[in-house]
Amino acid sequence: MTINKSRKILEYLDKILPEAKCELNYTNIYELMISVILSAQTTDNSVNKVTPNLFKEYSSFNDLAYAPIEKLENHLKTLGLFKIKANRIKEVSNIILEKYGGIVPNNIEELTSIKGVGRKTASVILVEYYNVQAFPVDTHVHRIAIRLEIASNKDSLFNVEQKLKLFFKDYNWKKLHHQLIAFGRYYCKAKNPLCDNCELKDFCSYYKKTRKY
């Protein structure tokens, strides 16, 4: 059943989202790392609106480390939690410079040891930039894993990640995590998901609970 279920999920995602990719705009690892940090509790589209001017004025960790906090806040004021995020990207930049000589680490242990860098941010950097097999779990991925009964509501984010890795152990996690994010963003939405034409509804706890007979 597990093999058939995983195959069905993969086939369906390949069918509807064959070209899914990271929707944050970036050109190097500095821009990726800062963008991912800024994307917490907001949309990629919102981040993409502020980063062009931010990166134009501050094009490196060194620039951000010495940037006046008031100017950073002004750049980020359209984002939620912009004051916290302004301080966070400044702190992260200082740590990258002082502890790692301006080079972003390429392993989960060192990345998550940086204040302000959680496991999801670290995993995105690893899978997106370093092409390391990792499985970032954001809000969309978490929701889908629970709805498709790969994980449960009681699982921690770490446990959800481990269950996804095991369930899809022989697949390209980079591609799949982008597909799951897009699926959650545009199809299996938190509110009003598009269930009627979904080929995964037989596996979906949400559909089973809400469908009308």
Q: Can you tell me which residue has the tokens 């400044």? A: 90
Give the catalytic positions in this structure.
Answer: 120, 138
**What is the rounded distance in angstroms from the CA atom of residue 99 to the CA atom of residue 54?**
24
Of 48, 83, 54, nearest in space to 67 by CA: 54
Neighbours of 23 (CB within 10 A): 15
- From start to end of the chain, where are the E strands? none
Neighbouring C-beta atoms of residue 109, cutoff 10 Å: 8
Task: Give yes or no for a contact between 72 and 36, defined as CB atoms under 8 angstroms apart.
Answer: no
Structure tokens belonging to residue 204: 């979906």
Q: What are phi and psi of 131, to 5 degrees?
A: 55, 35
Listing DSSP states for 7-34 in one string gives HHHHHHHHHH-TT----S--SSHHHHHH
Structure token digits, residue 173: 């996690």
CA 110, chain centre distance (Å): 18
